[in-house]
Chains A and B, each alone.
Chain A
Amino acid sequence: MTTTVAPPGTASTTPARAPRRARRWGDHLFVVPAVVFVAATVLYPLIFNIDLSFRDVGVAQIVTGGAEWVGWENYTDQLSRDDFWHALVISLLYTGLAVAAAFALGMALAVYFNQRFPGRNVMRSLLLLAWILPTVVSANVWRWMLDGSYGLINTLLEAVGVVDGDVFWLARPVPALFAVVIATAWSFTPFIMILLLAGLQGIPDTLYEAATIDGAGAWRRFTSVTMPLLKPVNLTALLLCFISTFKTFDTVFLMTRGGPGEATMILPIYAYNEAFEFFRFDTGAVATTLMLIVPLGLSVFYFRSLRREETA
C-alpha cells in the first residue's frame, strides 16, 4: 500500500454525544499517549523541517546542528530555480493524469460490479489485490512488463497493431510519463472502485426502474441518475485520490528515478534528491515545506466535501 489515507466518512467531526456532565480528567489519560506520539513524530519533525528551511545547513551541521539562520534566502533561491517549477508541473501532470485514468476506470468497474451476479463479491475483493500489493512490487512488475525488447505490453500492443516495433517506454520522456501514470492508476483504481461502490449502493433501485420506464437507456441512466446522485461521493473520492497520488514516491522512484532526464521528476523525488543525493538538507526542507501546500490546501476542500457527504 502506497498511501493509507482514511476513507471518506471516517471524518466524523461531530464529538461523541456524551451528556454534558463533569469531564473526568482520568479519561484523558487514554488519549495522552497518542497525542504525545503524534506531536513527537509528526508535528515536531514538521516544525523542525521548517526551521531547517531557514538555515544554511552544510553536511557537517546535519549531525552537529548550529546552522546559521539565513531568513528567506533559501526560499527565494528555490523559487527562482527552474527545476523546482519543472518538478511542480510534472507532479501536477502526473497526478492529474493518474487520477483521471484511475477515476474513469474505477467508475466503470464500480458500475459493472454494482450489478447483481454470482461471484461479484469475490471478484471485487480480488481486484483490491492491486491496491494492497506493496508499490515496490507492482512498480517492479510494471518495469518488466514495459521492457522494450521482451516486455508483455509491447507484445500485446503489437498484436493489436497499436505500436510497430519495440517501444522503450522508460527510456523516452513522454512514454516514461505515461508508464508511471499507468502503473499508478493501476494501483489506485480498485480503491476508487470500492469508494464509489459504497456510494452506488446508496442509490435506490426504484430510481433506475423509474428512469427505465421513462425510456432511458443504460448511458442515459448513468448520466441522469448515477452521476448527479454520486456527485458528493465523486468529489470526495477525487480529492482523496489526488492527495494520495500527489504524495506518491515509490512507484516513480522505482520505475524511472525521475528520468529519463527530468521527464518524470515529481516533487517528492526532487526533494528527496536535494537532501539525500546532494546533501542539501536546507533546500530539501524548503522544497518539502512548499510541497506541503498542495495536499494541505486540498484537504480543506476534502473535509468540506466529507461534511457535505455526511449531511447529504
Chain B
Amino acid sequence: MTATAAQRRRGWLSAGGVLITIAYLLPVYWMLATSLKDSSDIFATPPDLFPSPITLTSYTETVVNHAGIGRGLLNSTVIAVGTTVVTLAVAVPAAYALARLRVRFVALLMLLFLVVQMIPAVNLALPMFVIFSRADLVNSYVGLILANCSLAIPLAITILRPYFLSVPGEVIEAAKIDGCTTWSAFLRVALPVSVPGLITVAVISFLGAWGEFVFGLALASDEGMQPITVVLAGLTNSFGTRWNDLMAVSVVVALPIIVVFVFLQRYIVGGLTAGATKS
C-alpha cells in the first residue's frame, strides 16, 4: 500500500467516525434543537430538523420564571457539593490507607466496597425512608447527602486506591525518615502527586449526585427540598406536550454535566476506566 492509499483510508475512517458520532448523539441535538423552537414549530410534520425561528422563549419565560426549577437547581447544588465534600473527606484517607499503610483486612474491605456498589438504590431508599422518618431526616439536606454518600464513598475508594498504589512506597518512606508523621506524609507527599485521582473522584461524585434520582424521589416528598431531577420528573406531567419547555429544562439539568464533561473530560474517562487497563 502506498502512503497516499493508507492516508485515504484513514480519511474515510474519520469521515465514518464523524457520521457515527453525529448519529449516536442525535438525541442530544434533538433536545437542544427542540428547546429552541416555538410552540408551533415543535408540532411541525415532518419535524423541523433545525428550529425556525430560533427562539429562547422556553428559557427566558419558562425556566427563569418557574419557581420550582430554581429551587430544584439550588437543592441539587447543595446536595451534589455536600456529597462531593463528604465523599472526598472520608474516601481519600481510606483509599490511601488501603493502598499504602499497614492496615488489616485490605482484601475484605475492598471486596465490601465493591459488593456494596451492586446494591440497587431502591434497596437503600426504602429502609432509609423509615429510618429517616424516625430521625426526622426526611426532607433534609443532611438526609439526602447521607443517602448519596452511601454509594459514592465505596465507588470513590475503588477508583482512588489504584492512584495511591502508583505512588512509590519509597517516596513515602523517605518522607517518614525525614521526620514526617504518617499523617503529614499523606498530606504533603501522597496527596499532591495524586491530584488527578482526586479530581476524577470529585468530578464523578458530583456528577453522580447531580443526576441522582431514586433517593431524591423517596426521601424528599416536600417540593421545596426536591433535587432538580425529581422536579424535572414532576414537570413531565404538568407540562404535558410543551416539549420545547420540557427540553429547555432538560438542557439546564444537563448543562453542568456537559460543562464538566467538556473541561474535565480526561478525568472522567480516566475514572470510568480506572483499572480497566490494569493498574
Most buried by B among A125, A126, A147: A126
Number of interface residues of B (CB under 8 A): 116
- Separation of A144 and B47 alpha carbons in the complex (Å): 12
Number of interface residues of A (CB under 8 A): 111
- Separation of A67 and B117 alpha carbons in the complex (Å): 30
Instruction: Say yes or no: is A72 at the interface (Cβ < 8 Å to chain B).
Output: no
Residues of B within 8 A of A52 (CB): 126-127, 130
Check if B126 sits within 8 Å of A49, measured CB to CB: yes
Check if B213 sits within 8 Å of A128, measured CB to CB: no
**SS class of chain A's interface: helix, strand, loop or mixed?**
helix
Check if A62 sits within 8 Å of B272, measured CB to CB: no
Most buried by B among A6, A35, A138, A295: A6
Residues of B within 8 A of A31 (CB): 93-94, 97-98, 103, 109
Cβ contacts A288-303/B at 8 Å (1 or 0 each): 1101100110110011
Residues of A within 8 A of B233 (CB): 136, 253-254
Which of B19-27, B50-58, B62-70 has 4 or more CB atoms under 8 Å from chain A?
B19-27
Instruction: Say yes or no: is A81 at the interface (Cβ < 8 Å to chain B).
Output: no
Instruction: Say yes or no: is B247 at the interface (Cβ < 8 Å to chain A).
Output: yes
Cβ contacts B244-274/A at 8 Å (1 or 0 each): 0011001001100110010001101100111
Number of A-B residue pairs with CB-CB distance less than 8 Å in the complex they form: 352
Taking CB as reference atom, which chain A residue is nearest B146?
A41
Instruction: Say yes or no: is A178 at the interface (Cβ < 8 Å to chain B).
Output: no
Instruction: Say yes or no: is B91 at the interface (Cβ < 8 Å to chain A).
Output: yes
B67 to chain A, nearest CB (A): 19
Instruction: Say yes or no: is A234 at the interface (Cβ < 8 Å to chain B).
Output: no
A114 to chain B, nearest CB (A): 11
Known: A12-B110, A16-B98, A45-B127. A198 touches B276 (CB 8 A): yes
Instruction: Say yes or no: is A208 at the interface (Cβ < 8 Å to chain B).
Output: no
Check if A136 sits within 8 Å of B102, measured CB to CB: no
Known: A140-B232, A249-B214. A288 touches B120 (CB 8 A): yes
B114 to chain A, nearest CB (A): 5
Check if B109 sits within 8 Å of A7, measured CB to CB: no
**Other-chain residue from B20, B114, B213 in contact with A250 (beta carbon distance below 8 A):** B213
- Separation of A127 and B45 alpha carbons in the complex (Å): 29
Instruction: Say yes or no: is A103 at the interface (Cβ < 8 Å to chain B).
Output: no
Tell me which residues from 227 to 253 in chain A have a Cβ below 8 Å from any Cβ of chain B.
243, 246-247, 249-250, 253
Residues of A within 8 A of B184 (CB): none
Q: Interface on B for A, CB 8 Å cutoff?
A: 10-11, 13-14, 16-18, 20-21, 24-28, 30-31, 34, 42-47, 89-91, 93-94, 96-104, 106-107, 109-131, 133-134, 146-147, 149-155, 157-159, 161-162, 165, 169, 182, 186, 204, 207-208, 210-211, 213-214, 217-218, 229, 232-233, 236, 243, 246-247, 250, 253-254, 257-258, 261, 265-266, 268-269, 272-279
